Amino acid sequence: MGKNIGIFFLAFAIAFGAGYLFFKPSVNQDQTATEQPTQPTEPTKEQAGTDTANSSEGEILVTRGCISCHAVSALGLEGANTGPDLSQSYVNVPDKHGVSIEEFLINPTTAVMSSVLGGNPLTDEEREAVLEALRLASEK
C-alpha cells in the first residue's frame, strides 16, 4: 500500500513538472510589463443596437440558465454545446418530440429536460417569454 502511494506521488510530480515545462509561457516578463493596456473602443451604433436587441430577446434564456447547455445562435447567444442549438426549436420540437413546444416546456418528453424543468418549472410569464424568444430566433 505504501509503495503504491509513493509511486503515485512520484508519477504525479513527474507529470506536473513535465506539464509545467511543456505549457510554460514563452512571453518575456519585461515585455509584458512594458505593454500598455488598450482602451476599450466604443461600439458602433449598429453593434450597440444589435447587442441590445439580442440581449433583450434572449434575456429569459440567460435568466433561466438555458444557455448553460444550449446556444441560440440566431439571437447571438453563445451557450454551451451540451444540448442542441435552440434557434430552430420553435419549429422542430413538434416533429422531434410529438408535442407542441409549449406542451414540451410544461411536460418535457425527454429525461434530461424533465430533470431540468421538473424541479424548477417555468412560470406562465417565463414560458411566454421563452416561447417568444424561440419564435423570434426561428424567424431569423
- DSSP string for residues in 87-137: TTHHHHHHHHHSS-HHHHHHS-SSHHHHHHHHSSPPPHHHHHHHHHHHHHH
Residue 26 lies in a domain: no
**Cα-atom radius of gyration of the chain, to the nearest Å?**
24
Residue 47 lies in a domain: no
Close Cβ partners of 78 (under 8 Å, ≥ 6 residues apart): 67, 71
- Per residue in 11-58, pLDDT tens? 888 888 777 777 765 544 444 444 444 444 444 444 443 443 445 788
Number of domains the chain is built from: 1
Residue 29 lies in a domain: no
Residue 36 lies in a domain: no
Q: pTM of this prediction?
A: 0.58
Residue 40 lies in a domain: no
- Per residue in 62-80, pLDDT tens? 999 899 999 999 999 998 8
- The residue segments making up the domain with residue 93 are 59-139
Is pLDDT above 50 for 122? yes
Residue 116 lies in a domain: yes
Residue 68 lies in a domain: yes
Residue 45 lies in a domain: no
